[in-house]
């Protein structure tokens, strides 16, 4: 017997993932790229979908706007969410507290 859809929606991991919707994420990939964009969800294969995204290459300060991207889960090394609790008046307390 499979769990009902209401059981799946109350799962703590799904609730945590839903709480990240529309937040800014910083995602580092295995090919030394960093994507900073707004989290819009995942697909069935758990690939991450970002919009309004900037792409950076580690070691290079230049960036490019890539808009909407789908990042394959196999390429993802780190996913970091903007930590709004450690900011006050829009300013971070220190540089290390921007992401959790």
Check whether 4 has a pLDDT greater than 80: no
Residue 92 included in any domain: no
Model confidence at 7, pLDDT cuts 50, 70, 90, reads low
Which tens digits make up the pLDDT trace of 22-79? 999 999 999 999 999 999 999 999 999 999 999 999 999 899 999 999 999 999 999 9
pTM surpassing 0.85?
no
Strands (E), the chain: 24-29, 33-42, 48-57, 63-71, 76-81, 87-88, 91-92
Regarding predicted confidence, which is higher, 12 or 97? 12
- The single-letter DSSP state of residue 34 is E
Residue 93 included in any domain: no
**Token code pair at residue 46:** 């758990």
Regarding predicted confidence, which is higher, 14 or 72? 72
Residue 95 included in any domain: no
Check whether 94 has a pLDDT greater than 80: no
Residue 42 included in any domain: yes
Structural domain boundaries, residue 78: 5-86
Domain count, the chain: 1
What CATH code is carried by the domain that includes residue 13?
Answer: 2.30.30.100
Residue 11 backbone class (left: φ over 0; alpha: ψ -120 to 50; beta: rest): beta
Distance CA 81, CA 21 (A): 10
Residue 45 included in any domain: yes
Query: What is residue 82's predicted lDDT score, i.e. its pLDDT?
Result: 79
Distance CA 10, CA 91 (A): 34
Residue 15 included in any domain: yes
């Amino acid at each position: 017997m499979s769990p009902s859809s209401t059981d799946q929606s109350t799962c703590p991991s799904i609730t945590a993932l839903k709480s990240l919707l529309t937040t800014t994420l910083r995602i580092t990939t295995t090919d030394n790229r960093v994507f900073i964009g707004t989290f819009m969800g995942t697909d069935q294969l758990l690939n991450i979908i970002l919009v309004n995204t900037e792409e950076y290459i580690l070691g290079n300060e230049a960036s490019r706007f890539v808009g909407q991207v789908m990042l394959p889960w196999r390429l993802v090394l780190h996913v970091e969410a903007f930590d709004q609790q450690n900011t006050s008046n829009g300013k971070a307390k220190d540089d290390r507290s921007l992401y959790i």
